[in-house]
Chain A
Amino acid sequence: MLGPEKIKELTTQVFALSKADQTEVLVTASERALTRFANSYIHQNVAETNAEVRVRVVYGKKIGVASTNDLSPEGLKRAADTARVIAMLQPDNPDFTSLPSPAPIQNVETYVERTANFSPDQRAHAVSVLCKKAKARGVVAAGAFTTASFEVAVANSLGVFAYHPGSLAEMNTVMMTDNGSGYAARAHADARQINAEAIADEAISKALKARNPTDLEAGEYTVLLEEYAVVDVLNFLDWLSFSAQAVQEDRSFMKGKLGEKVMSENVTIWDDGAAGDAIALPFDYEGVPRQRVTLIEKGIARGIVYDTATAAKDGVASTGHSLPAPNSDGPSAMHLFMAPGETKKSEMLKGVERGVWVTRFWYTRVVHPLQVLITGMTRDGTFLIENGEITRPVKNFRFTTSYLAALNHVRAISQETKLFHEDWSNASRSVPAILVDGFQFTGVTQF
Chain B
Amino acid sequence: MKDFAARALNQAQMKGATYADIRIVTRTTQHIAVKNGIVEALEQNESQGFGVRVIANGAWGFAASARVDMREIERVVAQAVAIARASALTKTRDVNLGARIEAHGRFETPVARDPFLVPMQEKIGVLMKADAEMRRVPGIKVARGEMEFQREDKTFASSEGSFITQSIIESGCGIVAMASNLESGEIQVRSHPNSGGRNQVTRGYEFITECRMPENAQRIAEEAVALLSAAQCPSLDAATIILDGSQVALQVHESCGHPIELDRVLGTEAAFAGTSFLTPEKLGNFRYGSDVINITADATIPGGLGTFGFDDEGVAAQKTDIIKNGLFVGYMTSRESAQELKLGHSNGTMRADGWNRIPLIRMTNVSLLPGTWNADDLITSTDDGIWMETNRSWSIDDKRLNFQFGTEMAWEIKSGKKTRMLKNATYTGITPQFWGACDAVANENSWIVWGTPNCGKGQPPQVAHTGHGASPARFRGIRVGVIK
Contact = CB atoms under 8 A, between A and B. Distances in A.
A146 B272 CA distance: 14
A106 interface: no
Contacts of A352: none
A90 B267 contact: no
B404 A49 contact: no
Nearest to A397: B402
- Could you say which of B43, B401, B406 has the most chain A C-beta atoms within 10 Å of its C-beta? B43
Nearest to A132: B90
Contacts of B33: 326, 328
Interface in B337-361: 356-358
Contacts of A65: 41-44
A446 B47 contact: no
B398 interface: yes
A48 B65 contact: yes
B122 to A, nearest CB: 10
Interface string B22-43: 0000000000010100111111
B187 A250 contact: yes
Contacts of A86: 42-44, 120
Interface residues of A, number: 94
A128 B397 contact: no
B466 interface: no
A375 interface: yes
Interface in B448-465: 456, 459-461
A314 interface: no
A176 B267 CA distance: 10
B63 A47 contact: yes
Interface stretch (A32-40, A192-200, A289-297, A405-413): A32-40
B171 interface: no
B190 interface: no
Interface string B374-407: 0000000000000000001111111101101010
Interface of A: 32-52, 63-70, 78-79, 82-83, 85-87, 89-91, 93-95, 119-121, 123-125, 127-128, 131, 140, 142-144, 146, 172-174, 176, 249-251, 255-256, 326-328, 362-371, 373, 375-377, 379, 396, 398, 400, 423-424, 442-447
Given A38-B268, A65-B42, A91 B87 contact: no
Contacts of A34: 459-460
A334 B235 CA distance: 37
Given A91-B39, A447-B399, 5 more contacts: A46-B62, A50-B49, A94-B38, A368-B483, A375-B404
B271 A143 contact: yes
Given A91-B124, A442-B482, A66 B45 contact: yes
B83 A46 contact: yes
Given A120-B82, A124-B87, A255-B182, A90 B42 contact: yes
Nearest to A36: B459
Contacts of A40: 90, 92
Nearest to A47: B63
Interface of B: 33, 35, 38-49, 59-67, 76, 79-80, 82-87, 89-92, 119-121, 124, 128, 141-142, 144, 146, 178, 180, 182, 185-187, 266-272, 274, 277, 356-358, 392-399, 401-402, 404, 406, 424, 426, 428, 430, 456, 459-461, 482-483
A65 B31 CA distance: 10
Contact of A42 (B59, B393, B424): B59
B152 to A, nearest CB: 14
Contacts of A173: 271
B43 A64 contact: yes
Contact of A93 (B39, B91, B424): B39
B90 A127 contact: yes
A37 B87 CA distance: 9
Contacts of A127: 90
Contact of A398 (B144, B393, B428): B428
